[in-house]
């Protein structure tokens, strides 16, 4: 019987304001008065709220942007995060709802113009005027960051000067709590680390603010290119404009503030928005700058556009609808469709635990690469997606595909920590520990705060038998990135594999609080309950996992539970259903063989055929991972089942030479028992039980009935686990 424990396995059409256009109608209780903005994913209306009898800005996502209840729940979460921020320089959302298939947000209706529109009218800002904008935005970002959020799309089109002069930060569609991994925002404003898969941070928000001040004073950007790959290359080569060269009339201290915000290395930027505010104030001798609005004085005359002369009424939320899952974190309209495809692919990859997300991400990465071959991050994403496919399917072909994509990414840019982490995990899983250590060391040299690299190191330590180093490495990952569900889940896996089932269950419950829609975590929770012999609780967890995603893993785990309960016919039916969804899983055929063996007379011969099928598939996996002790122990046991000791014994010996874990010991003990080597079987079953393996599972395995009756088993008979 197979061991039941877990295998570790948007966009603006323009930054200019839109001319107002009449568009009467209704959305729920709101009367639409006038459309004042439009983007690729939504429209903005001046609307009437009958409940409060006032005008509001209403942003409506286009039909189909939010596809289902799961998407809508994510939208609600975004709205709640945005509503946390209360500050005079921040426009926050007042409500969100869904009517007739369209989701909408509403907030105060603000009269004014975006900074991008003001640039069109007046030309570059003076130093004092730009500093005033910067100081007000520092105040706004301080409030955003104090709420535990990031804005992630600070730019001229997302800042409004109210008719009374107040500066307002708006459009929080890119605000995320604990989801800083995605490339997101507007390309010209992105900090260099974001272009290589780095984590969004306070520093990346302040970098964007530095770009905004550069843009306000020059109408240009520090770096301009046509593709994301070209942007990354420009940052890598440090080929960006110098502000003093563009505007030699600006005060030196003001220029120094902007240059500090634009530092390529995050550690050299301001540590907080408050620090940058102080530097802006002191740099111009403004001290604690008054909140009285400054008069707008164009620093250089510019041709006016007729339609912009009239006062323009804009919603504070004007612009694209970034809020919806799969729509947030998009790149601007000026960026090609291929990069929007990349963002969609990356979002799907980050949510790989959701049904079909991984399969949908791969063609989007491939499409992006076809359109932009120099896009290193797309190659990196494809490598990670193929790696995830291998973990899910154990199809060895995905290992080489992952390696090839990672190699292509590194040929474009060797400084992508994300790629080195992927390769480190790949080499760890395939038993090439020296190469794994090299890749993970390289990742941490490039990014010493990379939580993913520490988590990957933890798994490498586990594979090397350095168990005392595993928990500290996972704890480091959790400290660096406490909002990421993967770290407590993976530490739970480690506890599960080392027999600490109650601790594992606690971590899985904690993980479910972070991702309540994640079927993998429910499956792992079921395993923890199963291993601690809480079968009813295990069934509840498995049922939840199957409800969310009836895939091979969830169905097969339920089949193993039925096996342990001695319900062999039900187990066989469930395992057949699992294999219908994925017939490539060698362990599934072995589990089915175990169930069939005990159903009726003649089951033994049918079981042999199934074990031979499991062996054929398992050997293909072993060729790709020749030093994986789990695969070796499994195959050693299967060869013992079909009576081939000359192949079984070397595999069993190699497995325990590579891994000193209780699951490996248990599988080896089973193999020796099947080969009629009772003394060896007793020795290894004793080690498994001493290492924390469940006595209940030993008792429930029919293959070990004779072993349990042996007097040599007596010392272990009353061992709990």
Q: Say whether pLDDT at 424 is over 90.
A: yes
pLDDT of 14 over the 50 cut: no
Tally of residues, the chain: 721
Helix (H) or strand (E) holding 168: strand 167-169
Q: What pLDDT does 17 receive? A: 38
Which pLDDT score is estimated for 175?
38
| 237-241, 286-290, 349-353 — most confident range | 349-353
> Which residues, other chains included, contact 349 with Cβ-Cβ below 8 Å and sequence gap of 6+?
357, 358, 361, 365, 381, 384, 385, 388
Average pLDDT, stretch 105-111? 79
Give residue 602's pLDDT band: very low, low, confident or very high (50, 70, 90): low
Tell whether the model's pLDDT for residue 7 goes beyond 60.
no
Here the tokens at position 129 are: 């005027």
Q: Inform me whether the pLDDT recorded for 662 exceeds 70.
A: yes
**DSSP bridge pairs for 21:** 35
User: In the structure encoding, which two tokens stand for residue 287, read together?
Assistant: 């001290």
Q: Is the pLDDT of residue 1 over 60?
A: no
CA distances from 524 to 38, 376, 554, 662 (A): 45, 34, 9, 18
> Which pair of structure tokens corresponds to residue 594?
């175990």
* Spatial distance between the Cα atoms of 342 and 662, rounded to a whole number of angstroms: 42
174 has a pLDDT exceeding 70? no
Which residues in the chain are classed under CATH 1.25.40? 632-721
Examine the pLDDT at 178 and tell me if it is beyond 60: no
When mean pLDDT is compared across 38-42, 171-175, 285-289, 334-338, the lowest value belongs to 285-289
- In 3D space, the residue among 529, 521, 523 whose CA is nearest the CA of residue 490 turns out to be 521
Q: 194-246 pLDDT, tens per residue?
A: 887 778 889 999 999 999 999 999 999 998 877 777 777 777 777 789 999 99
> What is the per-residue pLDDT across 513-564, written as a single tens digit (0 to 9) for each?
888 888 989 999 998 998 888 888 998 898 888 888 888 888 998 888 888 8
Q: Which CATH architecture has domain 632-721?
A: Alpha Horseshoe (1.25)
**What residue spans in the chain does CATH classification 1.10.510.10 cover?**
135-153+178-298
Which residues make Cβ contacts (< 8 Å) with residue 202, sequence separation at least 6? 141, 145, 150, 271, 272, 273
Protein fold of 135-153+178-298: Transferase(Phosphotransferase); domain 1 (1.10.510)
**DSSP labels, 643-701:** T-HHHHHHHHHHHHHH---HHHHHHHHHHHHHTT-HHHHHHHHHHHHHTT--HHHHHH-
Could you tell me the pLDDT band of residue 18, with boundaries at 50, 70 and 90? very low
The two structure tokens encoding residue 398: 């995905």
The Cα–Cα gap between 681 and 687 comes to: 10
Quick one: pLDDT band at residue 645, thresholds 50, 70, 90? very high
Q: What are phi and psi for residue 42, nearest 5 degrees?
A: -170, 175
> Residue 113: beta bridge partners?
161
Q: What is the pTM of this model?
A: 0.50
pLDDT confidence of residue 246: 92
For residue 719, the 8-state DSSP code is -
- CA distance linking residue 5 with residue 487, whole number of Å: 18
Measure the CA–CA gap between 429 and 393, rounded to whole angstroms: 14
Half-sphere exposure of 325 (CA within 13 A, CB side): 18
């Amino acid at each position: 019987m197979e061991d039941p424990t877990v295998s570790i396995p948007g966009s603006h059409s323009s930054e200019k304001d839109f001319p107002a256009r009449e568009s009467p109608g209704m959305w729920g209780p709101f009367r639409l008065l006038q459309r004042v903005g439009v983007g690729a994913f939504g429209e903005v209306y001046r609307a009437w709220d009958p409940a409060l009898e006032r005008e509001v800005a209403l942003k409506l996502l286009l039909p189909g942007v939010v596809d289902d209840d799961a998407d809508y729940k994510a939208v609600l979460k975004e709205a709640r995060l945005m509503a946390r921020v209360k500050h005079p320089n921040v426009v926050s959302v007042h409500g969100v709802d869904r009517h007739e298939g369209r989701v909408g947000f509403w907030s105060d209706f603000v009269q004014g113009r975006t900074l991008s529109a003001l640039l069109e009218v007046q030309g570059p800002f003076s130093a004092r005027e730009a500093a005033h904008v910067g100081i007000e935005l520092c105040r706004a970002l301080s409030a955003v960051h104090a709420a535990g959020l990031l804005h992630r799309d600070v730019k001229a089109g997302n800042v409004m000067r109210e008719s009374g002069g107040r500066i307002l930060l708006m459009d929080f569609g890119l605000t995320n709590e604990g989801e800083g991994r995605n490339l997101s925002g507007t390309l010209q404003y992105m900090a260099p680390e974001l272009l290589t898969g780095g984590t969004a941070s306070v520093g990346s928000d302040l970098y964007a603010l530095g770009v905004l001040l550069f843009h306000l004073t020059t109408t240009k950007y520090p770096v301009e290119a046509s593709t994301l790959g070209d942007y990354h290359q420009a940052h890598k080569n440090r080929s960006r404009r110098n502000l003093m060269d563009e505007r030699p009339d600006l005060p030196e201290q003001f220029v120094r503030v902007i240059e500090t915000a634009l530092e390529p290395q995050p550690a050299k930027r301001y540590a907080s928005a408050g620090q940058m505010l102080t530097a802006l104030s002191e740099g111009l001798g403004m001290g604690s700058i008054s909140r009285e609005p400054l008069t707008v004085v164009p620093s250089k005359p510019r041709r006016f556009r007729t339609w912009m002369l009239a006062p323009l009424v804009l919603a504070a939320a004007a612009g694209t609808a970034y809020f919806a899952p799969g729509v947030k974190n998009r790149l601007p309209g000026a960026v090609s469709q291929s990069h929007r495809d990349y963002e969609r692919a990356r979002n799907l990859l980050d949510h790989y635990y959701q049904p079909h997300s991984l399969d949908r991400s791969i063609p989007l990465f491939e499409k992006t690469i076809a359109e932009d071959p120099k896009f290193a991050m797309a190659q990196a994403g494809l490598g990670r997606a193929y790696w995830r496919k291998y973990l899910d399917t154990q199809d060895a072909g995905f290992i080489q595909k992952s390696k090839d994509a990672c190699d292509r990414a590194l040929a474009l840019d060797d400084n992508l920590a994300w790629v080195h982490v992927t390769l480190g995990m790949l080499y760890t899983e395939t038993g090439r520990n020296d190469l794994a250590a090299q890749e993970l060391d390289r990742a941490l040299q490039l990014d010493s705060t990379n939580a993913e690299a520490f988590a990957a190191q933890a798994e490498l330590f586990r594979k090397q038998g350095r168990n005392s180093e595993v928990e500290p490495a996972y704890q480091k990952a959790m400290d660096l990135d406490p909002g990421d569900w993967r770290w407590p889940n993976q530490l739970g896996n480690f506890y599960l594999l080392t027999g600490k089932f109650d601790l594992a269950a606690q971590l899985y419950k904690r993980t479910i609080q972070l991702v309540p829609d994640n079927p993998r975590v429910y499956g792992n929770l079921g395993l923890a309950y199963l291993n601690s012999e809480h079968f009813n609780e295990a069934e509840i967890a498995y049922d939840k996992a199957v409800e969310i995603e009836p895939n091979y893993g969830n169905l097969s785990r339920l089949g193993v539970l039925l096996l342990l309960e001695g319900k062999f016919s039900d187990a066989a039916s469930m395992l057949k259903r699992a294999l219908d969804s994925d017939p490539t899983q060698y362990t599934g055929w072995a589990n089915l063989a175990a169930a069939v063996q005990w159903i009726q007379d003649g089951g033994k011969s049918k079981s042999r055929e199934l074990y031979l099928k499991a062996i054929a598939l398992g050997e293909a996996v072993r060729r790709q991972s020749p030093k994986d002790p789990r695969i070796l122990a499994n195959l050693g046991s299967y060869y013992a089942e079909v009576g081939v000791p000359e192949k079984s014994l070397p595999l069993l010996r190699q497995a325990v030479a590579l891994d000193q874990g209780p699951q490996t010991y248990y599988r080896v003990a089973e193999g020796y028992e099947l080969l009629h080597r009772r003394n060896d079987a007793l020795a290894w079953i004793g080690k498994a039980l001493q290492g924390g393996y469940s006595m209940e599972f030993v008792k429930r395995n029919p293959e070990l009935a004779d072993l349990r009756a042996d007097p040599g088993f007596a010392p272990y008979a009353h061992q709990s686990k």
